[in-house]
Structure 1
Amino acid sequence: MKTEFKFSNLLGTVYSQGNLLFSPDGTCLLSPVGNRVTVFDLVNNKSHTLPFAHRKNISRLGLNPRGNLLLSVDEDGHAILTNLPRRIALHHFSFKSPVSALEFAPSGRHFAVGVGRHIEVWHTPSTPDSNSSGELEFAPFVRHRVYTGHYDTVQNIKWSSDSRFFLSSAKDLTARIWSLDPEVGFQPTTLAGHRETVCGAWFSKDQEIIYTISKDGAVFQWEYMRNPNAPESEAVDEDGNEIIDANSMQWRIAQRHYFMQNNAKVNCVEYHPESNLLVAGFSNGVFGLYEMPDFNMIHTLSISQNDIDFVTINKTGEWLAFGASKLGQLLVWEWQSESYILKQQGHFDSMNDLVYSPDGQKVITTADDGKIKVWDVNTGFCIVTFTEHTSGVTACEFSKRGNVLFTSSLDGSIRAWDLIRYRNFRTFTAPTRLSFSCLAVDPSGEVVCAGSMDSFDIHIWSVQTGQLLDQLSGHEGPVSSLAFAPNGGVVVSGSWDHTVRIWSVFNRTQTSEPLQLQADVLDVAFRPDSLQLAVSTLDGQLTFWSVSEAEQQAGVDGRRDVSGGRKITDRRTAANAAGNKSFNTIKYSADGSCVLAGGNSKYICLYSVSSLVLLKRFTVSVNLSLSGTQEFLNSKLMTEAGPLGLIDDQGEASDLEDRIDRSMPGSTRGGDTASRKKNPEVRVTGVAFSPTGRSFCAASTEGLLIYSLDTTPLFDPFDLDISVTPASTLHVLNKEKDYLKALVMAFRLNEAPLIRQVYQGIPHSNIALTVAELPAVYIPRLIRFVALQTEESPHLEFCLLWIKAILDCHGQWVSDNRGSVEAEMRTVSRAVGRIRDELRKLADENVYALDYLLSQPVVSSGGDKGALEGQKVIGDGDEDMEEDDDDAEWIGLD
């Protein structure tokens, strides 16, 4: 079993806080999700999360005009400069204070940051493709100037189109105009007159007008005009016109407009100079779209139940992106067609469980908010959300065929969901109202059983009729976990009474075999071959039991492995804290060789079943905004009133609406993004291996983390020497026509675009010969590549020829090494099945058109009797058509 799992994507969270960014071409949206950045490809309907992580939640993002440099800054002012196309972190830097505004100049040479009351302008670090030497600087961040003058925090910075000037707006009720470099006759100007915090200030496209918008909904239009109180000049030019003194010209308010949204405040605003569009998001979840300078309202729309925190417009002015942090919503709206391009929302509360679909294409998550979400693994988007449960959903399980999902909830119901029609078709309840905490489904999908914390019995229902079949009694404590054997023979239950019971539910006797343990049972898991059982207990032990012999085979003490991370309220060290020394969830890998375990800690542990050693320990999060990610607490943050992070400083906020506390005192469960949480705790509530074994996912406080073996690096050479280069590979392919050598060279370089070019450049007539001569060491790579191409490429027959050649020439090798290419063969099988289904559907839709075309006569323009013997020909120049020729007949295809 490979252990090189790398973080590949983050699902379940689409927006946390901070600003949203469109890429320069307007097709991708960058969203901060906690301490990471997710990129949503709006055209190809895919998303991916960048591999780097900050030590705190991200507060500001900035993207240079070329779109290749991303600057992300966290709450403490620590910044990471990233090469966005290559997804590589280039530099780390600290601004030494929280950053409240960040904007790159249109020229791309500078960027401005708001650090408290000051504005700092920095030179943009150069990249190898922008400087002449091709090397990165020794000191990439060089400060250009510091601008002072504001009396409160800078809220927004916007540059002019020529990058010579920029506007800043702050909480001191003013906006200011600054020049990048000293300009002749220019003095920094203050634009005052607003009665509340200025949310933003923008230049018009021709830079003749400035718009400033304040939090109370006032829009001021400033123009550079003569001061009416200035004395008139007596000097005239040659045409007799008055010469206006430059000292009498100033920026003055030309017009005032108001949004008139009752008591709602302006939370965010954005202006698009090219199309003169102004969009504002309000605290009541409504946004308004206006056309400037006439302030014509295009439309208003309510898109959220809570505040809209950020809004931005793409370069063409067609798409508006909105972020609402309280509910974790992310929306992209096309205002001309009035339709959603993207509408995603994460779980409001912490996730409780997750399960992969049998085909590995979907992940189902359940949470305390009562919602069940279906996530597409390939795209990273939520496909459908079920909201029928009225309380927290505790567990979920698939039937073996994968088209029915079962969920248990604290509302006292077990529900069955049809994942083809996306509806709830069956609901199971107990005679008395119980809060179900776990469930298990028979592999045949005929029987579902559930356990509760209130009752010590296990309830069994028939899926077909929905009737309660039986109640299994025997436990003396709450039932914490259930699992059916993969072969359907027995069901196993774990309880807080220190026992695991093995039930033969389909036998007449329905006897149970108790297995005695030393502590409360937290989770049980079956090995895929149904011969072994893994049990996790509260004392941190992992024990392995033989199902047939009912005796313990082995055990692992995982307390030291899983323990780690000190919560902000802990009075003892992480090594002595007892709350994080056990595994709440365990799962076997697809081949049964490994066990994955997670709990109330920042670690996920991967154990080998045969050798009982810890293979690898994965760190869930390094985010210091979560409680439990540090091994040692900073004594400076401990005060007489308690930890500094838990002291409520909301009453000291400068704005009235920020001082008002509308939140409820609540729990400290992780995952809830509501304002009543200061530091959610890091925890892992569910883990699962994909059916292919190539990846696994974990439901954590930050979201749904996916770790994969298929995170292909950009350059990972294999058996390389100096003569193997992309140029030499293409020369061998195109000039020498040595297709086998070119394919091997491409595999040794291991660059996906090059492999694809060689793959498509081999003629179809040479495929069988090339595959037959391919060394066995490259066969897994070829199978994996062809499998991916079959799913993505439009060349269906070409890909099928490759698959046929591989199985014809190396079928015995594939059979002997099936364990190492199991995932690839599953992908091949799925791709071939998809091609078959699509062709069948295409043929069924066009069967009558094909019959009609095949029944038509074949028409030739020649004057002879035709090119095909026995075929009736109608000649253009032959007036004497032979209608009665017995040898001539219509040729058709049955």
Structure 2
Amino acid sequence: MKSVVTLGISYWLVGMSLAGILKEEEVLGLAGFQHTGSLAEIISLSDGKHVLCSSRDGYVALWEIETGKLVRRFEKAGSGSMWGMRVLPGDEEFLVGTGGNMVVRFDLATGKELMTYKHSDDVLRVALHPDGERFVGVDDDKIAILWNLDAGKLDGPDDGKEIRKFEGHKGRICTAIFVEGGTRLITGSSDNKFKVWDVETGKCLETSKDYDDIFTLALSPNGKQFAMASDDKYVRVFNSKTRKEVWKVKLKKEGEVVVWSPDGQLVAIADGDQYLHLLDAKDGKEVRKIAVAGSRHTPVIFSTDGKILISGGDQHLHLHDVETGKRIIPSLGIPIAPNGFDTVAVGAKGRKVYSSVDDDLHIWDLDRKEESKVIEENQTIYSLAASPDGKLLGIGMENGEVKLRKVQNGQIQREIRTGSQVNVLSFSPTGRSIITGGNNGVASQWALTNGGKIQSFRGHSKKITDIAVAPGGEVFASSSDDGSVRLWSLKTKQPLAMLMIPKEKPASIGLVGSARSLIASVGKTSVWGRFLPEVQARVEVDEGRIKELVLKMADDQFEVRKAATDELIAMGEDVLDFLEKIKAEDPEVKFRISGVRDAIICPEGDDAIKVVYKFKNTFRHVTGDPSGRYWAGIVGSGSTGKIVLGEVVGEELKVIEEIGNYRAPEKLAYSADGKTLVSLNGDGTLTAYSLGGEE
């Protein structure tokens, strides 16, 4: 009897072009004032309704104060972190210092880049001259540069004209202000001193005593005084003309940013004790202490009417009533996970998304928002996985426990104690077992029926960082901080391959190319992979011939046994179903049949894993789609991060599509049907993408 079979898997994406099929469906966890990096400076606009905020996430954001809504983003490729800012007269344009060794000038209404002013190092702060026609940029190269604001301006971006440099500091210059009507410039540096310069000649007129690192200089609204924050834990106020100290106040921790209220009556300082301090500008006595949420806050600014104090902490803005100190919540609300969720998983059909932060489990329902909920677990959650049928959610805990919760009602169906922190877990394709990877370097398979251990897979010497299970459920891969990726047979309980990545730590892996090959991310630009040839598209399998070959595997002659084994292996994956039916009594034949199965699933050959592709930016995460044919990864970091889709063709890694995600994608998860992809983002959101297209 002959059976005609087609090798490989029938994919729902076969015959479909992947390009352009990844479409953003919904952003979960959206709230007010969300950035993806720590904040550098806040500027209140004169309309009293908006603020600009620069950040280390690589862009400047324009926000609505009342709602927390993002109005516009301003970014320049290659600029890196965004630092100090100044709005130009008329509130139509602004300047920002960048980590790309330049000051960039933007149009507020359109986001268009108007001009650049090039330095030799990161530009940390800018100061606008009172005439509105010049400004100073200060940088990491110990230099302050005076620029003509408009010289050389054309229809497109152009370089501004340098007027002169102010050189003499021995450390980076962190801050600068113009005083005495713009005739003098004061710069503060990490060399512990501030210097006073003649603006017209560039000559240094005065150098202060040591104060420790000087972080901020802030001019009072009337220009007669300036405040200084430094690393010696003092905030000081000086006379602008004489530079004589008017008062000083010592803080519990160093204060990095100091600002004046619009009426000049208050000075606000943000320090490291999780408070904002409001001081009387006359004598420095504390008027009010405002507790802030989360970690330390910097920077800080008053609203233009002086009624609201706005601070930056945990990657977003916080609003406080100046009179009461009470926090003001924007209409969009505050982030659930200000620094991002820890884990993510997607339900079988992509309509439920699961995420966690610390010990809180968040269940998101894309169709019925009112059914989204939070479950507080008793331990920090380290991993999540949804069962293939969508009925169970696996939750891996810090204490080594795995909870299996029913998706329908949230009740716990079973608890499994693994003995080690559960860094990663995955359901088998049948949904009958789960595989866990722990801090102890051991991967284990557990039965869902009774929670019992089926088997353990030992070999890693350090914690397991990821697990990927092949669609057929025969094989899984594990990666570890010991620098290895290992392939295991669930059927025979045997190791199949050990692949070492020299001097690297694979953080995530994906099985690709019909799940016969794998790729790994090590947090650098290189993609590591091991590619195995795919089976032929179509062969004829003769069941009678298979039985003959199995009998020959018991032959006394090695050559006969080897020839039979090689011929069976060459028949490919669908011979496995026939071999499964054969009940060999000879233990040697049983062993050889297992060897055939392992060789088909994971052929022997060059076990080396090598660099197979290089991106321009860091390849930070990878996962395989449930079919085993395609892969999804994250390239770049912060607001420049991209989600990349691809496949493996022969022994070549192919990139099919790249899409930007300014919310800083960090991890990815597929639904079991492969039609939904969710990114866990650094700004505390989750982005759900649908994968679709036409045949």
Shorter-chain TM-score: what band?
0.5 to 0.7
State the AA in 2 paired with 1:101: R
- For residue 54 of structure 1, report the CA deviation from its aligned partner: 2.7
Give the AA of the match of 2:531. Q
* 2:289 alignment partner, SS class: strand
- For 1:255 and 1:269, the matched residues in 2 are separated by 16
Q: 1:158 aligns with which of 174, 177, 188?
A: 177
* Cα pair 2:396 2:425 within 8 Å, conserved: yes
Counterpart-to-counterpart distance in 1, 2:289 and 2:406: 37
Q: Which residue of 1 aligns with 2:625?
A: 587
Does residue 27 (structure 1) correspond to residue 66 (structure 2)? The answer is no
* Correspondence for 2:10: none
What does residue 472 of structure 1 align with?
A: 454
Within 5 Å, give how 1:198-213 maps onto structure 2.
198-213=214-229
Report the Cα offset of residue 85 of structure 1. 4.3
The alpha-carbon deviation at position 95 of structure 1 amounts to 0.2
Over 3 Å counting, the alpha-carbon distance change for 1:49 and 1:201 in structure 2 is closer
Find the aligned partners of 1:271 and 1:196 in 2 and give their Cα distance: 22
In structure 2, the residue matched to 1:433 is 419
> What is aligned with 2:526?
none
Within the candidate set 500, 509, 518, 1:536 is matched to 518
1:280 CA drift (Å): 0.8
User: What's the CA shift for 1:112?
Assistant: 1.6
Asked whether the equivalents of residues 159 and 166 of structure 1 are also in contact (C-alpha less than 8 Å), the reply is: yes
Corresponding residue for 1:256?
A: 247
Which residue pairs with 1:282 in the alignment? 271
The residue that corresponds to 1:614 in the other structure is 654
The change in CA–CA distance for 1:4 and 1:68 in structure 2 (over 3 A counts) is farther
| Bigger Rg over Cα | 1
Could you tell me which of 326, 332, 339 is aligned with 2:327?
339
CA gap of 1:691–1:217, structure 2 versus 1, over 3 A, is same
- Alpha-carbon distance between aligned partners in 2 of 1:691 and 1:430, rounded to the nearest angstrom: 23
Change (3 A) 1:95 1:151: same
C-alpha change, 1:144 and 1:51, in structure 2 (3 Å) is closer
CA RMSD of aligned residues (A): 6.0
Between the aligned partners of 2:180 and 2:345, the Cα distance in structure 1 is: 50
Q: Within 5 Å, which residues of 2 pair with 1:618-657?
A: 618=658
1:595–1:208 distance in 2 versus 1, CA, 3 Å: closer
Other structure's SS at 2:125 match = strand
Indicate whether 1:409 and 2:397 are aligned: yes
Cα 1:619–1:2 shift into 2, 3 Å? closer
Q: 2:38: which partner in 1?
A: 16
3-state DSSP of counterpart to 1:498? strand
Which of 99, 109, 127 is the matching residue for 2:133? 109
1:32 and 1:298 mapped to 2: Cα distance?
Answer: 29
Contact 2:406/2:413 (8 A) holds in 1: no
470 and 103 in structure 1: CA distance in 2 versus 1, 3 angstrom threshold? same
Q: Distance in 1 between matches of 2:676 and 2:212?
A: 51
One-letter code aligned to 2:625: K
CA–CA distance in structure 2, aligned partners of residues 38 and 7 of structure 1:
24
**TM-score under structure 2 length normalisation:** 0.61
Structure 2 matches for 1:419-818, cutoff 5 A?
426=412, 429-431=415-417, 433-440=419-426, 449-453=434-438, 455-461=442-448, 468-473=450-455, 481=467, 493-494=476-477, 498-501=487-490, 536=518, 539-541=529-531, 561-563=612-614, 585-587=623-625, 594-597=630-633, 606-607=645-646, 614-616=654-656, 618=658, 686-688=667-669
Q: Give the Cα separation in 1 of the matches to 2:187 and 2:100.
A: 21
C-alpha distance in structure 1 between counterparts of 2:116 and 2:373, whole Å: 39
Alignment CA distance shift 1:113-1:615 (3 Å)? closer
Tell me how far apart the structure 1 counterparts of residues 350 and 54 of structure 2 sit (CA, whole Å). Answer: 26
Deviation at 1:96, TM superposition (A): 0.8
Check conservation: 2:188, 2:216, Cα contact below 8 A: yes
Q: 1:90 to 1:255 in 2, by over 3 A?
A: closer
Bigger relative contact order (CA 8 A; separation at least 6)? 2
Paired residue type of 2:518: S
Tell me, yes or no, if the aligned pair for 2:103 and 2:123 is still in contact at 8 Å: no
Distance in 2, matches of 1:89 and 1:268, equals 28
Query: Which of 340, 344, 360 in structure 2 is aligned with 1:354?
Result: 344
Alpha-carbon shift at residue 341 of structure 1 (Å): 3.7
- Tell me, yes or no, if the aligned pair for 2:41 and 2:54 is still in contact at 8 Å: yes
| Aligned pairs, number | 567
Q: Once the two structures are aligned, what percentage of the paired residues are identical?
A: 12
What is the CA–CA distance in structure 1 between the aligned matches of 2:693 and 2:660, rounded to whole Å?
29
2:399 maps to a residue whose letter is D
Asked if the contact 1:202–1:271 (Cα under 8 Å) also holds between the matched residues in 2, the reply is yes
**Aligned residue among 123, 136, 143 for 2:148:** 123
Distance 1:174 1:515, change over 3 A: closer
Cα–Cα, structure 1 residues 431 and 286, in superposed 2: closer, same or farther, change >3 Å?
closer
1:300 aligns with 2:266: no
Which deviations, in whole Å up to 9, do the C-alpha atoms of 1:73-127 show, x marking residues without a partner? Answer: 4446244444454444455553013433223457653322123554322133489
What is the aligned partner in structure 2 of residue 315 from structure 1?
Answer: 304
Q: Following the alignment from structure 2 to structure 1, what is the Cα–Cα distance between the partners of residues 127 and 403?
A: 49
CA contact (8 A) 2:36 2:683 kept: no
Match of 2:101 among 77, 99, 104: 77
1:525-579 CA distance string (max 9 Å, x none): 799xxxx767636752378799987587999x99654345799xxxxxxxxxxxx
- How far is 1:339 from its partner? 0.9
Distance 1:51 1:691 in 2: 36
Instruction: Classify 1:430/1:312 alpha carbon distance in 2 versus 1 (closer, same or farther; 3 Å).
Output: same
CA distance in 2, matches of 1:160, 1:690: 60
Provide the residue aligned with 1:802 in structure 2.
none
- Give a deviation string over 1:691-746, Cα, whole Å, max 9, x none: 99999565699998979899xxxxxxxxxxxxxxxxxxxxxxxxxxxxxxxxxxxx
Structure 1 residues 347 and 171: alpha-carbon distance in aligned structure 2, compared to 1, 3 A threshold: same
Describe the superposition over 1:340-362 as per-residue Cα deviations: whole angstroms up to 9, x where unpaired.
4475597879x875335789799
Bigger proportion of residues as helix: 1
Q: Distance in 1 between matches of 2:346 and 2:18?
A: 20
Closer/same/farther in 2, CA of residues 146 and 50 from structure 1, 3 Å limit: closer
Residues 175-216 of structure 1: per-residue CA shift (max 9 Å, x gap): 56667669xxxx997595785555444443333444445544
Is the 2:626–2:672 Cα contact (8 Å) retained in structure 1? no
Q: Distance between the aligned counterparts of 1:159 and 1:692, measured in 2?
A: 62
Unaligned runs of 5+ in 2: 1-16, 367-371, 479-484, 500-505, 521-528, 536-571, 578-599
Q: Is the 8 A contact 2:117 2:159 kept in 1?
A: no
Separation in 2, partners of 1:397, 1:24: 50
Equivalent position of 1:807 in the other structure: none
Whether the aligned pair in 2 keeps the contact of 1:279 and 1:289 (CA below 8 Å) is yes
Contact 1:372/1:393 (8 A) holds in 2: no
Query: What CA deviation, in whole Å up to 9, does each residue of 1:802-834 have, x standing for no partner?
Result: xxxxxxxxxxxxxxxx9559xxxxxxxxxxxxx
Q: CA 1:700–1:46 in 2, change beyond 3 Å: closer, same or farther?
A: closer
Distance 1:208 1:613 in 2: 64
> Deviations along 1:401-444, whole A, 9 cap, x unmatched?
79x864323431234689999xx864954355233343346999
> Does the CA-based 8 Å contact 2:634-2:642 persist in structure 1?
yes
User: 1:170-189, aligned counterparts within 5 Å?
Assistant: 170-171=189-190
From the superposition, tell whether residues 93 and 452 of structure 1 become closer, same or farther in structure 2 (CA, over 3 Å): same
Q: Do the aligned partners of 2:355 and 2:362 also contact (CA within 8 Å) in 1?
A: yes
Work out whether residues 512 and 648 of structure 2, in 8 Å CA contact, stay in contact via their aligned partners in 1.
Answer: no
Alpha carbons of structure 1 residues 43 and 14: separation in structure 2 relative to 1, 3 Å: farther
State the 1:688 CA deviation.
Answer: 3.8
